[in-house]
Amino acid sequence: MSFNSLGLSDALLKAISKKGYTTPSPIQQKAIPPILEGKDVLASAQTGTGKTAGFTLPILQLLSQGQHLSRRPIRALILTPTRELAAQILANIKEYSEFVDLKSTVIFGGVNQNPQVTQLRQGVDILVATPGRLIDLQNQGLISLAKVEILVLDEADRMLDMGFLRDIERILKVLPTKRQNLLFSATFSKDIKKLAMGILHHPVHVEATPENTTVDAITQIVYPVAKEKKTELIIKLITEGNWKQILVFTRTKQGANKLTESMISAGIKAAAIHGNKGQGARTKALAGFKDGSLTALVATDIAARGLDIPLLPHVVNFELPNIPEDYVHRIGRTGRAGASGEAISLFSPDETVFLRDIEKLVGLNLPKENIKGFEPDPNASKEPIKQGQGRQQRDSTPRKPKTDTTNRSSNNSFGPRRPSQNNDRRSNR
């Protein structure tokens, strides 16, 4: 299938071709036609599937066909959980809208609001926003959403994880009731389904792959290992395997820092990326990882979302996630677009419950392999270690209305990505 057959205008096709895209990704093929028809869409997709173009291209087309008002009220509102993702979406919109007469801007917390307000005053057709800053400006009477025709909730699952549900509800109240709604989410918990049901009208469901399945091209392996030997094992795997680019997941910010320090001491070029890192440090770490000057990027789940991380040969779960859907997100960063990848999980006995839940979610009994000298004590406790008993706090991000500091998002390329089921552990994140 080509972009021409999707019914997009010449101006958009020109921008797409300038961007170098030749074929629409599966989510684009499925989402663009119903959006162009003005339908509500419920899409199962995460970063890396091409979902941003999947909703921005038809929005640009609909708005450029619509009536142009001289004052340019906001006609499309795109809500995203983090400032990184918001900035990334705006960058995409700017590229795709090069040949159409539409203005767009972004607002997010953690920075001075004045330049954002100035932009808004000049008039924008499309606004990308994180919920906290949007509510802030709305409360100050600096923004009007009365003319919004299209609402996008991007990474809706993450917005709920980050505690934005109440903000979203408040925003919905100030939007016109008659509008087109698009909801994108990588996972589908009960809460997401409830939110979707409350917002969407007879939505068209689109998804790139079925729910909660992991990507066939990914080799998944679990190494049972004594908890205290995980650091030694990962260093051995990286150095002896001569791995060049590896994304490592920890459950906590402190865990990410500690592991990074150990790797650096072992001569591995590594950096940590998590919610406590400033924007500069995160950008620098990601750039180093992409250009090959860093071998290992150690990330928490939340920090990894929203990052445009390239196709990776190796993803390692240094600690298993306690939210099983996170496992699917994590390993989706390897084995993309038909390339093969390896997802390795270092599994200690206290993570038995987490592994069981992951296997249940993905419907697989993951292969396990002992590595000599690293096997766990068969009598070790299988009880999860509770917070305050040696386990540090997760990189969870409770509501911070004025600073959308955390970021997240995922892989990039067009394959699979899987959504999920309900999960009552989210409330602990």
Interface contacts to ligand AMP, rule CB under 6 A: 21, 23-25, 28, 47-53, 308, 412
- Count how many Cα atoms sit within 13 Å of the Cα of residue 49 in the half-sphere of its side chain: 32
Nearer to ligand AMP, 23 or 393 (CB): 23
Residue 47 CB, shortest distance to ligand AMP, in Å, is: 4
Nearer to ligand AMP, 250 or 412 (CB): 412
Residue 354 CB, shortest distance to ligand AMP, in Å, is: 27
Nearer to ligand AMP, 99 or 374 (CB): 99
Residue 122 CB, shortest distance to ligand AMP, in Å, is: 27
Nearer to ligand AMP, 232 or 308 (CB): 308
118 SS3 class: helix
Of all residues in the chain, what percent are helix, strand and coil, respectively (each to 5)? 40, 15, 45
Nearer to ligand AMP, 78 or 172 (CB): 78
Give the separation between CA 413 and CA 338, rounded to whole angstroms: 9
Nearer to ligand AMP, 85 or 143 (CB): 85
Residue 249 CB, shortest distance to ligand AMP, in Å, is: 19
Nearer to ligand AMP, 285 or 311 (CB): 311
Neighbours of 242 (CB within 10 A): 7
Neighbours of 399 (CB within 10 A): 12
Nearer to ligand AMP, 287 or 353 (CB): 287
Torsion, Cα 136 43 74 100, to 10 degrees, reads 140
Residue 126 CB, shortest distance to ligand AMP, in Å, is: 15
Tokens of 385: 């270690």
Residue 315 CB, shortest distance to ligand AMP, in Å, is: 17
Nearer to ligand AMP, 19 or 244 (CB): 19
Residue 411 CB, shortest distance to ligand AMP, in Å, is: 8
In the bound state, the residue with its beta carbon closest to ligand AMP is 52
Residue 93 CB, shortest distance to ligand AMP, in Å, is: 11
* Strand pairing report for 41-44 and 341-347: unpaired
Give the separation between CA 132 and CA 86, rounded to whole angstroms: 12
What number of helices (H) and strands (E) belong to the chain? Answer: 15, 13
Q: How does 195-229 read in b/e, with b if 16+ C-beta sit within 10 Å? A: bbeebbeebbebbbbeebbbbeebebebbbbbbeb
Residue 22 CB, shortest distance to ligand AMP, in Å, is: 7
* Strand pairing report for 76-79 and 41-44: unpaired
Residue 336, φ and ψ in degrees, nearest 5: -85, 155
The full DSSP string for 317-344 is ESS--SSHHHHHHHHTTBSGGG--EEEE
Cα 375 versus chain centre, distance: 34
